Amino acid sequence: MKERERRQGIVLVNTGEGKGKSSSALGMVFRAAGWGMKVCVIQYIKGKWQTGEQKAAERFDNIEWHVLGDGFTWDTKNPEQDIKTSREIWEFSKQKILSEEYDFVLLDEINYCCGYNWISGQEIADFITNEKPAWMHLVLTGRNAAPEVIEVAHTVTEMTKIKHAYGQGIKAAQGVEF
C-alpha cells in the first residue's frame, strides 16, 4: 500500500434512484480494510438497527462505525430535529476527517441531507476542496447528490432503478438489503 504522502485520495459519489449506493460503498470499505487502511463509516440517515455490514465490520479492528441518524427521515414528523441531527453529524464527520486518523471515510447517505437542504452542497464541496487531506479516500452516498459535490468528486456513479422487489410487495430481505 502506498504511503499517505504518495497517495492520491479519491472522492467518490454514489447517487441515483437505484439500489446499491451504500452496498457499493461498503464493498470499498471492506476492500480498504483488507489492505490495512484505517476506515471510518459514518451513517447519516439509517436508524439504530443492526445490519449485516455493521456486524461484519465488528470483526475488523481497523473499521470504526458510527450510526448517528434518526432513521428514515422522509416520513419525518420533526424536520427541525432532522436538520439539527444532520448538522451535528456533519460537524462530527469534519472532525473525523480532519483528525487525519483515517485513510478512508464513508459518509453514508449524506447526499439526502443536501437534497433536503439540511446541509448545503457548496459547504460540503468547499470542505472537500479546501480541508480534506489530499491522501484520504472519501465516499459520499445517497440520492440527490448536490451538483457542487458532483463537480469536485473524481468518480460519480448514478444508480438507475429498473425495478425493485419492494414494488412487487417483497419486503427488505436480511442479507440482501440489511
**For a pLDDT cut of 90, what percent of the chain falls above it?**
76
- Render pLDDT for 46-77 as a digit per residue (tens, 0 to 9): 777 788 999 999 999 999 999 998 776 556 67
d(CA 68, CA 63) in angstroms, rounded, equals 16
The helix/strand/coil state of 34 is: helix
| Mean pLDDT value of segment 29-40 | 98
- Rounded mean pLDDT of the chain? 93
